[in-house]
Structure 1
């Protein structure tokens, strides 16, 4: 009798702990979504245009990204008088790279792995918004100190198996950092981004400063100059042009 009571008590504790844990994750995500502007506002967003600047080894680089929510993306980068284009059109992608960047200057098909990774950007509102509907699972790893501030470490496992650790501020519930490993052109790379300088644009919250380790050493800082919501978008810009 005593053994059965002990086992019964243990099962009750496990069941209660699991329920409490699940509720805690849901509560954290709900507060995050609210802090970012709310699910309804993000769902109503049809597209955006973002302009940014950053520098790499003294080279000033400007970029313009146009996103059609849930469908397409195009980023135009200007560096040293050269133009680089990366575009996603539905399930396919293409790019134009100058010779100095290892390209041909002509439109080229984007590697499938890069298309899959880039497509995540068309889901406006971030990876935690409606993550269950996207087939992802989420686990609360714990609470830790990140750059002197308390943060929740959430482990997001996407439907395709990609794993990302997302660190949310325990105070503002903004995303402070994301880390993960990705395979690009057969090579596994560390993908790490730190977010700061959060500002609201028409009720939606965006990080205007992003930092990521530079392949050339040190840290690359990307500063967003402007964000325009629901701009008029000519969908033909996402179509792969013919070679000259």
Structure 2
């Protein structure tokens, strides 16, 4: 009788565990689905093929530089600071090699083992990209607001995203290198973007990026990505 009872208890525990895992996965999937719908819709995000963002980067207190980001599907990227009227390359990718400006060499140089950013957010079509999702619960991201925490994992890489409970915007993102805080959301051509990003690298320090102009699907000449 005891063996039967124990077997039933073990079975019930196992089923509850499986149900919990499935329910949490479904919760995570629904939160991501709401995020994509409320920020523009999957079709609109899929139709985004290029973008230019203009604003400023505040690296240290008092050190502010005009900034321009050119990004083109699937990986072409160029980030420049404007100093004394000249564009200085911070980061670039030409489809094969990563680049940055070297003060020593006084020219753009290749970056060893550069890993390009995907044009899309990882949460868009995350299943097709091979990510697994896990619902981590509700947390506060500031004194007055709460968010749903979801972890995306692929191989050894893990990123935690916080989705605001009301707007479903991604308000925080944390990976092994840094924590990013997103705010001041504005809509451009039906798509919602954070116009303020605060970055806190794991190794210490802080930077702030503010965008005042965002162009959706602009024509970007390929020469922009020749470094």
How does the TM-score come out when normalised to structure 2?
Answer: 0.88
Measured against aligned partners, the alpha-carbon deviations of 1:122-176 in whole angstroms (never above 9, x if no partner) come to 423x2211112222222222211110311112222234x2222211111111111
1:75 Cα offset (Å): 1.1
Q: Find the counterpart in structure 1 of residue 184 from structure 2.
A: 197
TM-superposition CA deviations, 1:161-205 (whole Å, max 9, x none): 2222211111111111112223xxxxxxxx121110001101100
Confirm or deny: 8 A CA contact 2:138 2:148 kept in the other structure.
Answer: yes
Cα shift readout 1:101-120 (whole Å, capped 9, x = no counterpart): xx4221211131xx31xx22
The 1-side partners of 2:154 and 2:18 are apart by 25
Cα distance in 1 between the residues matched to 2:74 and 2:42? 15
After TM superposition, give the deviation of residue 82 of structure 1 in Å.
5.7
What residue number does 2:225 align with? 238
Matched residue, 1:96: 101
Segments of structure 1 that go 5 or more residues without pairing to the other structure are 183-190
How many equivalent residue pairs?
221
Find the counterpart in structure 2 of residue 137 from structure 1.
132
- Checking the alignment, whether the CA contact within 8 Å between 1:37 and 1:204 is kept in structure 2 is yes
**Is 1:39 equivalent to 2:42 in the alignment?**
yes
Q: CA RMSD in A?
A: 2.2
Superposed CA deviations along residues 56-90 of structure 1, whole A, max 9, x for unmatched, are 33233011111112130111112356642121122
**Whole-Å separation in 2 of the counterparts to 1:223 and 1:26:** 30
Could you tell me which residue of structure 2 aligns to residue 211 of structure 1? 198
CA distance in 2, matches of 1:81, 1:156: 41
- Conserved? CA contact 1:59–1:80, under 8 Å: no
What is the CA distance between 1:218 and its match in structure 2?
6.2
Distance change (3 Å), C-alpha of 1:78 and 1:214 = farther
Aligned to 1:154: 150
Alignment of 1:1-244 (within 5 A): 1-55=4-58, 56-79=60-83, 83-85=87-89, 86-97=91-102, 99=103, 103-112=104-113, 115-116=114-115, 119-120=116-117, 122-124=118-120, 126-148=121-143, 149-159=145-155, 161-182=156-177, 191-213=178-200, 219-240=206-227
8 Å CA contact 2:72–2:119 kept in 1: the answer is: no
d(CA) in 1 for partners of 2:193, 2:99: 27
How far the C-alpha of 1:32 sits from its partner, in A, is 1.1
Q: For residue 48 of structure 1, report the CA deviation from its aligned partner.
A: 0.6
Aligned with 1:163: secondary structure?
A: strand
- TM-score, normalised by the number of residues in structure 1: 0.82
Asked if 2 retains the 8 angstrom alpha-carbon contact of 1:166 and 1:179, the reply is yes
